[in-house]
Amino acid sequence: MLEGKCLCGAVRWTLNQVPSSATACSCTACRRYGTLWAYGWEGEDISLHGETSAFVRADALSFNFCPTCGNVSHWWGLRLDEQGKRRVAVNLRLTEPGPIAHVPIRHFDGLDTWSSLPEDGKCVQDMWF
């Protein structure tokens, strides 16, 4: 299990297992936030704790952050899927680097093509240091 927390500790998330990959997205929001995302489902493999403020983008995503220190903790989809589940992504930059150092990075072009980019062999530790 992984736990992430904002700088002041007021907002936390848990992820049931180390993810198989982390996503670096080039969309205007993710690029500016500098996030690395791991995905799951709210209440299943991801748990969220603490009060957040939100920036709602269009009608698809709510980017959530700590109102005290400003760290982006997660996004969640504004629509539920067919089973009534909510898609969530947590910002892996809020966890300790050791357990996720060798998690491969998936690059996603969220700016122009809305598609995955070729693998380049980089992992989380390559993006942090």
Domain count, the chain: 1
Report the mean per-residue pLDDT for the chain. Answer: 95
Residue 110, phi then psi, degrees to nearest 5: -85, 0
**E-assigned strand segments in 22-103:** 22-25, 37-41, 46-49, 53-57, 61-65, 72-77, 87-91
Cβ atoms of 52 and 41 within 8 Å: the answer is: no
Average pLDDT on 52-63 reads: 92
pLDDT tier for residue 50 given thresholds of 50, 70 and 90? very high
For residue range 5-35, list pLDDT tens digits in order.
999 999 999 999 999 999 999 999 999 999 9
Query: Which CATH number belongs to the domain containing residue 103 in this structure?
Result: 2.170.150.70
Average pLDDT on 54-59 reads: 89
SS3 assignment, position 128: helix
Structural domain boundaries enclosing 60? 2-128
Residue 129 has pLDDT above 80, yes or no: no
The two three-digit tokens of residue 28, written as one number = 């205007």
> Does the pTM exceed 0.95?
no
pLDDT at 7: 98
Average pLDDT on 53-82 reads: 94
pLDDT tier for residue 127 given thresholds of 50, 70 and 90? confident
